[in-house]
Structures are given as structure tokens and as C-alpha cells.
Amino acid sequence: MLLASLDPAAVAAGHDLDDAVRIAGSTLSRSDLVGAGTSVAERVGSQVGPRGRIAVLATPTPTTVLAVIGCLIAGVPVVPVPADVGVAERRHILTDSGAQAWLGELPDEPEGLPHIPVRLHARSWHRYAEPPPESTALIVYTSGTTGPPKGVLISRRAIAADVDALAEAWQWTSDDTLVHGLPLFHVHGLVLGLLGSLRIGNRFVHTGKPSPEAYAAAAGSLYFGVPTVWSRVVRDPDSARTLASARLLVSGSAPLPVPVFDELVRLTGHAPVERYGSTESLITLSTRADGERRAGWVGTPVAGTSTRLIDEAGDEVPHDGESIGRLEVKGSTLFDGYLNRPDATADVLGADGWYRTGDVAVVDADGMHRIVGRESVDLIKSGGYRIGAGEIETVLLGHPDVVEAAVVGVPDDDLGQRIVAFVVGVADPKALSDFVAEQLSVHKRPREVRIVESLPRNAMGKVLKKELS
């Protein structure tokens, strides 16, 4: 059963939990989740049928929680729609997905779709058969480098496999209280945070805005955050020290700056777990609760997953911690393709089962991986060298006058690409370039350093390097 903790028979037999989910000022028990979720499932099933698709405005509210649970009980795929998405992108998501109705909250422009309300106090105890594991649970839209967002088909089997693998790696159990304040329309917040908790059976707390004060007040044992969240936490030492009582801090969705990693260790006593994944693959790499946690490294493949690094000739690169290769993954957590896009699916998912992530990485002799970045923007080919932008960014972030840094390659008639660093901070550009040359090889120094007020980022904290020029 995908949502194992919500087994109606077990809940009816007394295996309830009064505070299974806390979100937006409301507390829901397991019995609430089963009864209200089943009531939602009945309304969904009667209006769209088992072959339907449902759009859910994915705000962090009890309504969203029950809407997702109801669809999963009914076996109807959920299309999570970001609450702040623009009109044109929302229209594309609805049209491309073939969503037949809105479930729960409504956006300002519902685009003519009918509305199915979520009644928070309605209850039903009808028993539904568990849908097939290969059936689609979620259609999550993700933006690529070109064209409109693509709908990623994520099966029930993939979600279950990934949560179970992470439970093993992180020693995640029903005794945990998981805390985060992340969006419920991405893998990190929705699949790992909410659905993971409903599978494992732990308490789940959504803080709303992921502020240091809210994280400290939640009294959790397991915390999820993106680097922006952890950067804010370490700038609030009192809140950070409160997290010393937690069991595990997990960072993902973007690289965690080494200085932030070090400050978390100093203030909380915890070396954070770093992990890597994507909408298409879910989480495939992670450091472990019982293993080494090395700043800037995202660990080894989780159970059921394999990786390989490929060079431009199609050969595997050495596991020497230095050689850069294209990262490919294979295993039970992979998506089933892009909706309506067989061409795009074939571009990244081979007949042999290997998914071409578009990221570049290095791996050492122990199998530990470090993500260099996106092949399209983070692999810089300058003067005949293959250089990872992430390595330079890590060094820059170690300078006391640098707050944020992003490195890109720009076209250059002589070098092919010229290394340019965008830096938030108060520092002398030449001094920063010399600083990199002292720490790394001279050919890796930025030829140009631009001091800026801020870096463009998306909702998950990832720097939008395409906007840097």
C-alpha cells in the first residue's frame, strides 16, 4: 500500500495518531486523513472516473493534503499546480495534462474547469482496492532549458521505492517528526515530505514559511530544507542551536554552500545529509545517517539505484574524484516518461533503462558523488580544459567577503569559453580571481568577476544561470 500508515483496517483497529499532520494551523489525525480522504475519493471517482486527471492548487493547507490523499485512494493521477504560477504556464499545465477538474482550492482563473470541493469535516469509510503499483500517481510539471514545462509521469511504484530507500539510508522511522516549509508542488516537499511521511507513518509538520524561528519551534527530529533555508538558519544562531536536539538535517534541491555546511556543524552539532535527485528520477544519491557526510558531496546510490559517469566518447570516466562525466542513473525510482512527449522522453531515457540526467559529476574510489552542475551551464570548456563551475563557486564561497557566488562560461573567441563569476558581497574582483588561482589551478580562475546585489533564483532556491550574462 503506497500510503501504508493510512491503512483503514489498521486505523480502525486503533493504530491512530492524533497529530499525524500539522499544517496551516490545523492538526489532522490518521483517522481524519482516512475518513476525509476517502470522502474526497468518492467525489472524485463519481465526477471524473478512474481514467480522469485532477488539478490541485498546491497550497500548504489541509485542503491540499486531503485532495492529494483522496486522489491517491481513488487511483486518479494528481496534477499539482503551483499557486504562484503565471496564467500562461497554468493554462499550459491544464491543457497538456488533460485535467478534468479542480479539486480543493481554486485559482483566480480556473480556465473553465469544473470544481470539486474538499469538505474538511466530511467522512467516509468505504474501502477502496489499492490501485496497481505501475499506475500513475502524479504528473509533475518541470521546466527544461527550452520550450514549455513537461509533465513528468511518476508511478506509485517509483514513489514507494524511493521513500523506502531513503528510510533505509536516513534511518527514517515512524518515531520521527518530520519538519519542513517547502512547496507541495515539487518532489522535495510533496513526495518526500508529505507522501513519505504518510508511507513511513511519522508525524509531519509543515511550518508554512520556512523561517528559522518556525523550524526551531517545530521540535522535530528530521528536518528538510533547501540551501536558502539552511543559510537563513545559520544566520540566526539561537534558532540554529535549538536544532541540536534533532536527529538529522537534510539538504537538497540545490548545492549546499560549504560555509553553510560548516556553520550547521558548529551551531547544531549535526553534519547535514546532502542528497541529489530530480523530478524524473526522484532521489537517487544520498549521504547516510550512519556514514560519512562530506561537505559538497551527495553520497552514494540509494538502494535499487545505479549510476554511471560517461565522457564525450561514451566511455565511463575513472572514479578518481576529479574526472568529470555526464551522470546517468538507472533503477526503480525513475519516471515513466514525459506526458505527450515521446520525443523528449527518448532524448533522456534510453531503451537500456539509463536516464541521462543532464548533470555532470565526479565520483571517488569509495563511490561518493559530487555534482558539478548542469552540463549546459556548469561544464565550462575553456582553453582546452573541462572545468566544473561548482568547484570554483565552492572556493569563492570560502572567501570571507563573499555571500553568494555563481560561475558561468561565456563565449570567447580565444578560449572558447571565458570563466565569469557573479558575486554577492563586498570584495575586490581581482583579489577574488587571485584567490581562486591560489586554491585551484590557474586555468580555473575567473577571467572576470562581477559584483551584483543578488542572484536570480527559482522557488526551490536554484540559481537561474540562464539569466546571468
pTM of the model: 0.87
User: In whole angstroms, what is the distance from residue 137 CA to residue 353 CA?
Assistant: 21
Alpha-helix residue ranges (DSSP H) falling in 118-194: 156-170
* DSSP H or E segment with residue 389: helix 389-397
Mind listing the pLDDT tens digit of every residue in the chain (469 residues)? 999 999 999 898 888 999 999 999 999 999 999 999 999 999 998 888 778 999 999 999 999 999 999 999 999 999 999 988 888 889 999 999 999 999 999 998 888 999 999 999 999 999 999 999 999 999 999 865 557 899 999 999 999 999 999 999 999 999 999 999 999 999 999 999 999 999 999 999 999 999 999 999 999 999 999 988 999 999 999 999 999 999 999 999 888 888 899 999 999 999 999 999 999 999 999 999 999 999 989 999 999 999 999 998 899 999 999 899 999 999 999 999 999 999 999 999 999 999 999 999 999 999 999 998 888 777 788 877 778 888 888 889 889 899 989 999 998 888 888 999 999 998 899 999 999 988 887 888 999 999 999 999 876 567 888 888 7
How buried is 63 (Cβ within 10 angstroms: 0-12 exposed, 13-18 middle, 19+ buried)? buried
- Gyration radius of the chain over CA positions: 22
Could you list the beta-strand ranges (E) of 269-368.
Answer: 273-278, 282-286, 300-301, 305-310, 325-331, 355-363
HEC states along 17-64?
CCCCEEECCEEECHHHHHHHHHHHHHHHHHHHCCCCCEEEECCCCHHH
3-state class of 81 per DSSP? strand
Q: Classify the phi-psi angles of 100: left when phi > 0, otherwise alpha if psi is within -120 to 50, otherwise beta.
A: alpha
> Reduced to 3 states, what is the DSSP secondary structure of residue 361?
strand
In the prediction, which pLDDT does 65 show? 98
Distance CA 58, CA 184 (A): 6
pLDDT score for 460: 59
Residue 225, SS3? strand
Q: What domains, with CATH codes, occur in the chain?
A: 379-467 (3.30.300.30)
pLDDT at site 374: 81
Q: pLDDT of 400-452, one tens digit each?
A: 899 989 999 998 888 888 999 999 998 899 999 999 988 887 888 999 999 99
CA dist 249 and 170 (Å) reads: 10
| Amino acid symbol at 310 | I
Residues 6+ apart with CB under 8 A from 239: 212, 213, 215, 216, 233
Q: How far apart are the first and last CA of the chain?
A: 49
198 within 8 A of 5, measured Cβ to Cβ: yes
